[in-house]
Amino acid sequence: MAVKLNANLPRGDGNGLAVVESDMIRDMKAFRVCISIVDCVETVTKADTGELIPKARIRRIEVVPDEYLQLAERIMRAALDKRLKAGQMSWGDELEAELAEAFPEVNPQTGEE
């Protein structure tokens, strides 16, 4: 199954990305670590297969403050580890490189800054 993402961000105070808007313009390639709340806004049925595809809607998104990046990395690694083990997949170099870029101040071996 492939979850699709609704292209719209929440309006008003649900969109915490506004606090990094100018940073994103200055450095478009830098990673920003966020936490979000999602639900299913709709489902689409593929006519040829009958497959139901949910479309996730971001209800709230917030940028993780720097002082919580260490905690966010631990949560991200735990969630990835659980999902990858369930699918019997292994960590790849590309995933480790993405995590290192997203959490540059955190040592992946110790989890400390």
Pairing label, strands 4-5, 52-63: parallel
Backbone region of residue 85 per phi and psi (left: phi > 0; alpha: psi in -120 to 50; beta: other values): alpha
User: Would the pLDDT of 112 be above 70?
Assistant: no
pTM (2 decimals)? 0.79
**Per-residue pLDDT band at 20 (split at 50, 70, 90):** very high
Per-residue pLDDT of 43-96, as tens digits, reads: 999 999 999 999 999 999 999 999 999 999 999 999 999 988 877 677 788 888
**Per-residue pLDDT band at 109 (split at 50, 70, 90):** low
